Chain A
């Protein structure tokens, strides 16, 4: 097994009386695609929000490459090499595709407090942006305004923008949600390709897709982890079947 890249210890997010994430301890290994599944309201997105620094944990810690990152803000975590996509498409709607990726690529400069340098002359930033646009399959849409593209393309773009930040670890929050079959297939292929040189934590409702791409699976219910293992192990797990598959219409969101 590859070494651990990210781990959580008793990670908890409490909102009033409700624990959206309840003492979750998990390990994620390098070069693996680790999917997290569970019914709506299981706390999956909250879990991702904790990892990416959008939310501060109530208790518990997160370690990334051995370093405690549980109190770091979102921008600092991004700079450590953790990229994320959001459940609701989260891009710069008024920007063109290339501009979206340029902003992503530029974030890897030590800082952007350059006031009189021409941004267009940062050739390596531009190249990296174009490369990531190519990776997500939008090379021919460089100058399209993001808001005017189809929903599927916007999701692709979000992944492209994330790739421009050169992350090692990707946090993907339901990248297939709301997509048609063809679009979904394209994104699955993209994920397959990314798997080659990235660690991925994936939240997804589309079980067929998950079983195809995932190396490991974790099942969350009511903020708690009820099982973790390989795809085969999880499929065989009785408890999972009862708690989850019984009342979940697979592939539906």
Chain B
């Protein structure tokens, strides 16, 4: 997995723009960008499953919400907890849940996989919905953001919105590089093979189950990171975060941005959040417009915004650009 040259430059430019944004953007929009970046990490984690492993998970919100709940549960009402243990703990919790759910789900394919991931996510959803000790359907608050201190020195004060902004930006860039690296690894090669042709991958000697399973776990952990950041950002968590609607929306965002591109889902998150924010201002029936947009995307933009971008960049058919992409990649290998 390598980005083509123009895409690389565009990404670099995007990161630079994001880095200076807090200095030029109004506070409200800075907040909005934080939300977009967190959503972007979440969508990117799902892209690892849908776009690269070929697993359409309809329960991804469960891992997002679960990590958020873990942070809210371990944080007392009087002070923040250290990020150094709460972040790994939250991510591990999501990873563990993904390991258990994945162990059962990854055996199935197609519609059944979609449905069994939905079923497990609904179980997690209802668990928190009914867990009165954790706020039931109203959810919980996080009164203090996690602390990043060594000894008595404050390394990062996440309560400061600007610091938190850069922390999220850093997480986004790190996640992108990490997943990109993952896809360039032997493991990445195998999961992409599974997406392209699973039975063939098995027939040349890969126990595909384990690769799908591990991919499911990694995606769950990355979703956990996003969930951790989200709760740190908003200060609340509720079962609604784990509901099937959220799983549906994140699928939509991934497709909107462009499957199997990693950066596409981040663009998808951007488009979705900005659209939602703008439409809301004009009409309380904005869901109607959103519905029409969703249908148009499904019908006419199956490769998402990045597919459109590709066409503009190369001024030719997408198939050919793919061809070139792979060409570049192989010369480098």
Cβ of A90 to closest chain B Cβ, rounded Å: 5
Cβ of A160 to closest chain B Cβ, rounded Å: 12
Residues of A within 8 A of B205 (CB): 75, 78-79, 107-108, 165
For residue A146, which residue of chain B has the nearest CB?
B196
Interface size range on B against A: 35 or more
- Docked CA distance A90–B203 (Å): 10
Among A30-38, A95-103, A228-236, the stretch in contact with B: A95-103
Residues of B within 8 A of A178 (CB): none
* 8 Å CB interface, B87-135 against A: none
Q: A112: CB under 8 A from chain B?
A: yes
User: How does the 8 Å CB contact mask read for B291-333 relative to A, with 1 for contact and 0 for none?
Assistant: 0000000000000000000000000000100110011001111
Q: A74: CB under 8 A from chain B?
A: yes
For residue A97, which residue of chain B has the nearest CB?
B330
Q: B211: CB under 8 A from chain A?
A: yes
Q: Is there contact, CB below 8 Å, between A107 and B206?
A: yes
Q: Is there contact, CB below 8 Å, between B203 and A75?
A: yes
Q: A134: CB under 8 A from chain B?
A: no
- Docked CA distance A84–B185 (Å): 26
Q: Is there contact, CB below 8 Å, between B190 and A103?
A: yes
Q: B182: CB under 8 A from chain A?
A: yes
User: How does the 8 Å CB contact mask read for B203-218 relative to A, with 1 for contact and 0 for none?
Assistant: 1111110110010001
* 8 Å CB interface, A112-143 against B: 112-120, 122, 126, 142-143
Q: A57: CB under 8 A from chain B?
A: no
- Which among B184, B201, B203, B319 is the interface contact of A54 at CB below 8 angstroms? B203
Residues of A within 8 A of B201 (CB): 103
Q: Is there contact, CB below 8 Å, between A116 and B185?
A: yes
Residues of B within 8 A of A106 (CB): 186, 189-190
Q: A241: CB under 8 A from chain B?
A: no
A residues in contact (CB < 8 Å) with B: 52, 54, 73-76, 78-79, 83-84, 86, 90-96, 98-99, 102-104, 106-109, 112-120, 122, 126, 142-145, 148, 161-162, 165
Ranked nearest first, the 3 interchain pairs of A and B with the lowest CB-CB distance are A78-B205, A107-B205, A120-B333
B residues in contact (CB < 8 Å) with A: 181-182, 184-190, 192-193, 196-197, 199-208, 210-211, 214, 218, 319, 322-323, 326-327, 330-333
* A–B complex contacts, Cβ < 8 Å, 29 sampled: A54-B203, A74-B202, A75-B206, A75-B208, A78-B203, A79-B205, A83-B204, A84-B203, A90-B199, A92-B196, A92-B200, A96-B327, A99-B330, A102-B333, A106-B189, A112-B206, A114-B185, A116-B181, A117-B185, A118-B184, A119-B188, A120-B184, A120-B333, A143-B327, A143-B330, A145-B323, A161-B204, A162-B204, A165-B205
